[in-house]
Amino acid sequence: MDIPELSRKILRETEKIIVGKGDRIRLLIMAVLADGHVLLDDLPGVGKTTLVKTISIALGCRAGRIQFVPDLLPSDILGMKIFNQKTGDFELRPGPVMTNLLLADEINRAIPRTQAALLEAMEEHQVSIDGEQIPLPEPFLVLATQNPVESESTFRLPAAQMDRFLIRLTMGYPKPEEERQMLRNLGDEIPFDTVQPVTDAASLLEARKEIAAVHVSDTVADYMIALTDRTRHHPRLAMGASPRATRGLYRAAKVWAAMEGRDYVTPDDVQTLARPVLEHRLLVESSARFSGATAESVLKEILQQVPATPDVKTVAGRG
Protein backbone atom coordinates (compact mmCIF):
# COMPACT_ATOMS: atom_id res chain seq x y z
CA MET A 1 0.00 0.00 0.00
CA ASP A 2 1.22 3.49 -0.90
CA ILE A 3 1.02 5.25 2.49
CA PRO A 4 2.09 8.71 1.19
CA GLU A 5 -0.57 8.58 -1.55
CA LEU A 6 -3.22 7.42 0.92
CA SER A 7 -2.46 10.33 3.24
CA ARG A 8 -2.51 12.77 0.31
CA LYS A 9 -5.94 11.52 -0.79
CA ILE A 10 -7.37 11.94 2.71
CA LEU A 11 -5.80 15.41 2.92
CA ARG A 12 -7.26 16.49 -0.44
CA GLU A 13 -10.78 15.41 0.50
CA THR A 14 -10.59 17.08 3.91
CA GLU A 15 -9.31 20.33 2.42
CA LYS A 16 -12.49 20.58 0.35
CA ILE A 17 -14.07 21.84 3.57
CA ILE A 18 -11.22 22.82 5.90
CA VAL A 19 -9.18 25.75 4.58
CA GLY A 20 -5.61 26.57 5.56
CA LYS A 21 -5.13 23.81 8.15
CA GLY A 22 -3.06 21.30 6.18
CA ASP A 23 -0.55 20.84 9.00
CA ARG A 24 -3.31 19.97 11.49
CA ILE A 25 -4.99 17.63 9.02
CA ARG A 26 -1.71 15.77 8.42
CA LEU A 27 -1.27 15.31 12.17
CA LEU A 28 -4.83 14.02 12.41
CA ILE A 29 -4.18 11.54 9.59
CA MET A 30 -1.01 10.45 11.38
CA ALA A 31 -2.98 9.77 14.56
CA VAL A 32 -5.57 7.69 12.68
CA LEU A 33 -2.85 5.53 11.12
CA ALA A 34 -1.07 5.28 14.49
CA ASP A 35 -4.20 4.01 16.28
CA GLY A 36 -4.18 7.11 18.45
CA HIS A 37 -7.00 9.19 19.92
CA VAL A 38 -7.10 12.92 19.20
CA LEU A 39 -8.12 15.90 21.35
CA LEU A 40 -8.97 19.12 19.50
CA ASP A 41 -8.69 21.84 22.12
CA ASP A 42 -9.72 25.34 21.09
CA LEU A 43 -12.31 28.09 21.29
CA PRO A 44 -15.87 27.56 20.00
CA GLY A 45 -16.54 28.11 16.33
CA VAL A 46 -13.05 27.57 14.88
CA GLY A 47 -13.93 24.36 13.03
CA LYS A 48 -13.10 21.51 15.42
CA THR A 49 -16.30 19.55 14.88
CA THR A 50 -16.34 20.32 11.15
CA LEU A 51 -12.81 18.93 10.79
CA VAL A 52 -13.72 15.71 12.58
CA LYS A 53 -16.92 15.23 10.55
CA THR A 54 -15.10 15.89 7.28
CA ILE A 55 -12.21 13.50 7.89
CA SER A 56 -14.66 10.85 9.10
CA ILE A 57 -16.33 10.91 5.68
CA ALA A 58 -12.99 10.78 3.86
CA LEU A 59 -11.93 7.74 5.90
CA GLY A 60 -15.03 5.79 4.90
CA CYS A 61 -15.57 4.35 8.37
CA ARG A 62 -18.60 4.05 10.59
CA ALA A 63 -18.89 7.18 12.70
CA GLY A 64 -20.86 8.03 15.82
CA ARG A 65 -21.32 11.24 17.73
CA ILE A 66 -21.96 12.06 21.36
CA GLN A 67 -22.80 15.60 22.41
CA PHE A 68 -21.40 15.80 25.92
CA VAL A 69 -23.59 17.69 28.39
CA PRO A 70 -23.56 17.87 32.21
CA ASP A 71 -26.43 15.36 32.64
CA LEU A 72 -24.95 12.74 30.27
CA LEU A 73 -24.68 9.31 31.92
CA PRO A 74 -22.11 6.55 31.29
CA SER A 75 -24.88 4.32 29.92
CA ASP A 76 -25.64 7.01 27.33
CA ILE A 77 -22.14 6.35 25.96
CA LEU A 78 -21.60 2.63 26.49
CA GLY A 79 -25.13 1.29 26.18
CA MET A 80 -27.02 -0.98 28.57
CA LYS A 81 -28.76 -4.32 28.87
CA ILE A 82 -32.53 -4.22 28.63
CA PHE A 83 -34.83 -7.02 29.79
CA ASN A 84 -36.85 -8.48 26.93
CA GLN A 85 -40.15 -9.73 28.32
CA LYS A 86 -40.82 -11.88 25.24
CA THR A 87 -37.57 -13.86 25.44
CA GLY A 88 -37.00 -13.54 29.17
CA ASP A 89 -33.39 -12.48 28.55
CA PHE A 90 -31.41 -9.30 28.91
CA GLU A 91 -30.42 -7.90 25.53
CA LEU A 92 -27.66 -5.43 24.81
CA ARG A 93 -28.71 -2.05 23.55
CA PRO A 94 -25.37 -0.75 22.25
CA GLY A 95 -24.39 2.86 22.81
CA PRO A 96 -22.79 5.23 20.29
CA VAL A 97 -19.33 4.03 21.36
CA MET A 98 -19.87 0.93 19.21
CA THR A 99 -18.39 2.49 16.09
CA ASN A 100 -15.08 3.11 14.32
CA LEU A 101 -14.77 6.87 14.76
CA LEU A 102 -16.41 8.37 17.82
CA LEU A 103 -16.83 12.14 17.81
CA ALA A 104 -16.94 13.15 21.46
CA ASP A 105 -18.15 16.70 21.04
CA GLU A 106 -17.30 19.15 23.85
CA ILE A 107 -16.09 16.28 26.00
CA ASN A 108 -15.23 18.55 28.93
CA ARG A 109 -18.87 19.59 29.42
CA ALA A 110 -19.68 16.21 31.00
CA ILE A 111 -19.07 15.48 34.67
CA PRO A 112 -15.83 13.57 35.45
CA ARG A 113 -17.70 10.30 36.15
CA THR A 114 -19.12 10.34 32.64
CA GLN A 115 -15.79 11.32 31.08
CA ALA A 116 -14.21 8.34 32.83
CA ALA A 117 -16.63 5.99 31.07
CA LEU A 118 -14.42 6.28 27.98
CA LEU A 119 -11.18 5.23 29.69
CA GLU A 120 -11.52 1.49 29.13
CA ALA A 121 -12.71 1.99 25.57
CA MET A 122 -9.77 4.26 24.73
CA GLU A 123 -7.13 2.00 26.25
CA GLU A 124 -8.40 -1.53 25.68
CA HIS A 125 -10.86 -1.10 22.78
CA GLN A 126 -13.60 -2.75 24.82
CA VAL A 127 -16.37 -1.76 27.21
CA SER A 128 -17.72 -3.47 30.31
CA ILE A 129 -21.49 -3.65 30.70
CA ASP A 130 -22.95 -5.58 33.64
CA GLY A 131 -19.67 -7.44 34.08
CA GLU A 132 -19.38 -8.49 30.44
CA GLN A 133 -16.43 -7.29 28.33
CA ILE A 134 -17.60 -6.36 24.85
CA PRO A 135 -15.00 -5.67 22.13
CA LEU A 136 -15.34 -2.54 20.01
CA PRO A 137 -15.13 -2.48 16.21
CA GLU A 138 -11.68 -2.03 14.69
CA PRO A 139 -10.35 0.47 14.05
CA PHE A 140 -11.69 2.42 17.03
CA LEU A 141 -10.71 6.04 17.60
CA VAL A 142 -12.01 8.81 19.81
CA LEU A 143 -11.84 12.21 18.13
CA ALA A 144 -12.78 14.59 20.93
CA THR A 145 -13.30 18.33 20.99
CA GLN A 146 -13.18 20.56 24.00
CA ASN A 147 -13.42 24.23 24.81
CA PRO A 148 -10.85 25.80 27.13
CA VAL A 149 -11.48 25.11 30.81
CA GLU A 150 -11.89 28.85 31.35
CA SER A 151 -15.17 28.64 29.42
CA GLU A 152 -18.41 28.47 31.35
CA SER A 153 -19.77 25.06 32.44
CA THR A 154 -16.68 22.99 31.65
CA PHE A 155 -14.76 20.42 33.68
CA ARG A 156 -11.04 19.72 33.46
CA LEU A 157 -10.21 16.35 31.91
CA PRO A 158 -8.37 14.09 34.39
CA ALA A 159 -4.70 13.36 33.78
CA ALA A 160 -5.47 9.67 33.19
CA GLN A 161 -7.72 10.60 30.29
CA MET A 162 -5.41 13.25 28.85
CA ASP A 163 -2.67 10.61 28.77
CA ARG A 164 -4.83 8.41 26.56
CA PHE A 165 -4.95 10.98 23.78
CA LEU A 166 -2.06 10.46 21.40
CA ILE A 167 -2.05 14.11 20.32
CA ARG A 168 -3.69 17.39 21.19
CA LEU A 169 -4.29 19.91 18.42
CA THR A 170 -5.50 23.47 18.26
CA MET A 171 -7.13 25.02 15.20
CA GLY A 172 -6.50 28.73 15.73
CA TYR A 173 -8.24 31.53 13.92
CA PRO A 174 -7.94 31.60 10.12
CA LYS A 175 -5.96 34.27 8.34
CA PRO A 176 -8.10 36.86 6.53
CA GLU A 177 -7.35 35.36 3.11
CA GLU A 178 -8.20 31.87 4.42
CA GLU A 179 -11.47 33.12 5.87
CA ARG A 180 -12.27 34.82 2.56
CA GLN A 181 -11.65 31.53 0.72
CA MET A 182 -13.78 29.70 3.28
CA LEU A 183 -16.72 32.02 2.59
CA ARG A 184 -16.34 31.58 -1.17
CA ASN A 185 -16.03 27.78 -0.97
CA LEU A 186 -18.64 27.02 1.66
CA GLY A 187 -21.23 29.74 1.20
CA ASP A 188 -24.26 29.47 3.46
CA GLU A 189 -23.95 25.72 4.16
CA ILE A 190 -21.10 23.27 4.63
CA PRO A 191 -21.15 20.95 1.57
CA PHE A 192 -20.24 17.67 3.27
CA ASP A 193 -21.74 15.86 0.27
CA THR A 194 -18.76 16.94 -1.84
CA VAL A 195 -16.38 14.88 0.33
CA GLN A 196 -15.83 11.33 -0.95
CA PRO A 197 -14.54 8.28 0.98
CA VAL A 198 -11.03 7.40 -0.21
CA THR A 199 -10.39 4.41 2.07
CA ASP A 200 -12.23 2.15 4.52
CA ALA A 201 -11.76 0.36 7.83
CA ALA A 202 -10.11 -2.72 6.32
CA SER A 203 -7.62 -0.62 4.34
CA LEU A 204 -6.68 1.39 7.41
CA LEU A 205 -5.95 -1.80 9.34
CA GLU A 206 -3.83 -3.06 6.44
CA ALA A 207 -1.93 0.24 6.33
CA ARG A 208 -1.14 -0.09 10.03
CA LYS A 209 0.40 -3.52 9.42
CA GLU A 210 2.71 -2.08 6.78
CA ILE A 211 3.68 0.86 8.98
CA ALA A 212 4.67 -1.56 11.75
CA ALA A 213 7.65 -2.54 9.57
CA VAL A 214 9.11 0.99 9.63
CA HIS A 215 12.53 0.82 11.28
CA VAL A 216 13.49 2.75 14.41
CA SER A 217 17.21 2.56 15.13
CA ASP A 218 18.47 2.19 18.69
CA THR A 219 19.92 5.71 18.59
CA VAL A 220 16.61 7.28 17.57
CA ALA A 221 14.74 5.22 20.18
CA ASP A 222 17.26 6.38 22.79
CA TYR A 223 16.63 9.97 21.70
CA MET A 224 12.89 9.54 22.36
CA ILE A 225 13.60 8.01 25.76
CA ALA A 226 15.99 10.83 26.65
CA LEU A 227 13.31 13.43 25.86
CA THR A 228 10.57 11.80 27.91
CA ASP A 229 12.96 10.99 30.76
CA ARG A 230 14.05 14.62 30.95
CA THR A 231 10.41 15.67 31.48
CA ARG A 232 10.21 13.39 34.52
CA HIS A 233 13.11 15.08 36.25
CA HIS A 234 12.62 18.68 35.18
CA PRO A 235 12.44 20.99 38.22
CA ARG A 236 9.53 23.00 36.77
CA LEU A 237 7.33 19.99 36.03
CA ALA A 238 5.14 18.29 38.62
CA MET A 239 4.33 15.48 36.18
CA GLY A 240 6.31 14.35 33.19
CA ALA A 241 5.56 12.14 30.21
CA SER A 242 4.49 8.58 31.00
CA PRO A 243 5.77 5.37 29.38
CA ARG A 244 2.51 5.45 27.40
CA ALA A 245 3.69 8.80 26.01
CA THR A 246 7.01 7.29 24.92
CA ARG A 247 5.18 4.47 23.15
CA GLY A 248 2.89 7.02 21.54
CA LEU A 249 5.83 9.07 20.27
CA TYR A 250 7.39 5.87 18.92
CA ARG A 251 4.23 4.90 16.99
CA ALA A 252 3.63 8.42 15.76
CA ALA A 253 7.17 8.79 14.44
CA LYS A 254 6.89 5.54 12.47
CA VAL A 255 3.69 6.72 10.83
CA TRP A 256 5.16 10.15 10.06
CA ALA A 257 8.14 8.51 8.39
CA ALA A 258 5.83 6.29 6.32
CA MET A 259 3.76 9.31 5.29
CA GLU A 260 6.99 10.91 4.10
CA GLY A 261 7.78 7.82 2.02
CA ARG A 262 10.56 6.47 4.25
CA ASP A 263 10.97 3.10 5.93
CA TYR A 264 13.02 4.53 8.80
CA VAL A 265 12.54 7.22 11.47
CA THR A 266 14.82 10.24 11.85
CA PRO A 267 15.32 12.65 14.77
CA ASP A 268 13.49 15.30 12.74
CA ASP A 269 10.37 13.11 12.86
CA VAL A 270 10.65 12.94 16.63
CA GLN A 271 11.14 16.71 16.96
CA THR A 272 8.17 17.44 14.69
CA LEU A 273 5.86 15.29 16.80
CA ALA A 274 7.19 16.00 20.29
CA ARG A 275 4.90 18.94 20.98
CA PRO A 276 1.55 17.46 19.83
CA VAL A 277 2.34 14.12 21.49
CA LEU A 278 3.95 15.25 24.76
CA GLU A 279 2.85 18.75 25.69
CA HIS A 280 -0.68 17.96 26.91
CA ARG A 281 0.70 15.29 29.27
CA LEU A 282 2.97 17.66 31.18
CA LEU A 283 1.91 19.37 34.40
CA VAL A 284 3.80 22.50 35.42
CA GLU A 285 4.64 23.06 39.09
CA SER A 286 2.39 25.68 40.68
CA SER A 287 5.35 27.85 41.68
CA ALA A 288 6.72 27.69 38.14
CA ARG A 289 3.35 28.77 36.71
CA PHE A 290 3.53 31.93 38.78
CA SER A 291 6.84 32.76 37.09
CA GLY A 292 5.29 32.30 33.65
CA ALA A 293 6.39 28.74 32.83
CA THR A 294 4.12 26.70 30.56
CA ALA A 295 4.23 23.13 29.30
CA GLU A 296 5.06 24.54 25.86
CA SER A 297 8.01 26.61 27.09
CA VAL A 298 9.43 23.77 29.22
CA LEU A 299 9.16 21.28 26.36
CA LYS A 300 10.83 23.73 23.98
CA GLU A 301 13.68 24.06 26.47
CA ILE A 302 14.01 20.27 26.75
CA LEU A 303 14.14 19.88 22.96
CA GLN A 304 16.98 22.41 22.89
CA GLN A 305 18.85 20.76 25.76
CA VAL A 306 18.60 17.10 24.71
CA PRO A 307 20.85 16.74 21.66
CA ALA A 308 20.50 14.39 18.79
CA THR A 309 24.01 12.92 18.73
CA PRO A 310 26.06 12.93 15.51
CA ASP A 311 25.30 9.23 15.13
CA VAL A 312 21.58 9.93 15.38
CA LYS A 313 21.70 12.80 12.90
CA THR A 314 23.32 10.68 10.22
CA VAL A 315 21.26 7.55 10.75
CA ALA A 316 19.56 6.38 7.58
CA GLY A 317 17.51 3.37 8.38
CA ARG A 318 19.74 0.50 9.45
CA GLY A 319 22.83 2.51 10.32
Cα separations in angstroms, 48 against 28, 54, 253? 12, 10, 24
What single DSSP character describes residue 316? -
Strands 37-41 and 165-169: parallel
CA distance 23 to 28: 9
Indicate the SS3 state at residue 126.
Answer: strand
Q: For residue range 253-284, what is the model confidence (pLDDT) as tens digits?
A: 999 999 999 999 999 999 999 999 999 999 99
Burial class of residue 213 (count of CB atoms within 10 Å of its CB; 0-12, 13-18, 19+): exposed
CA distance 190 to 246: 38
What percent of the chain has a predicted confidence (pLDDT) above 90? 63
Q: For residue range 201-223, what is the model confidence (pLDDT) as tens digits?
A: 999 999 999 999 999 999 999 99
CA distance 293 to 152: 25
Lowest mean pLDDT among 80-89, 202-211, 300-309: 80-89
Q: Are 26 and 9 in contact (CB under 8 A)?
A: no
Radius of gyration of the chain (CA): 20
CA-based torsion, 167, 171, 175, 179: positive or negative: positive
E strands, 85-140, are 89-94, 101-105, 126-129, 132-135
Q: What is the DSSP string of 57-83?
A: HHHT--EEEEE--TT--HHHHHEEEEE
Given a cut of 90, whether residue 29 has pLDDT beyond it is yes
CA dihedral 51→207→36→276, nearest 10 degrees, is -70
Q: What is the model's pLDDT at position 312?
A: 45
Q: What is the model's pLDDT at position 151?
A: 62
pTM of the predicted structure, to 2 decimals = 0.89
CA dihedral 178→179→185→188, nearest 10 degrees, is 170
CA distance 269 to 163: 21
Mean pLDDT of 235-254: 96
Q: Are 59 and 101 in contact (CB under 8 A)?
A: yes
All domains of the chain, ordered by start, with CATH?
A: 3-206 (3.40.50.300), 213-313 (1.10.8.80)
CA distance 247 to 318: 20
Indicate the SS3 state at residue 133.
Answer: strand
Given a cut of 70, whether residue 140 has pLDDT beyond it is yes
Encoded amino acid at 83, one letter? F
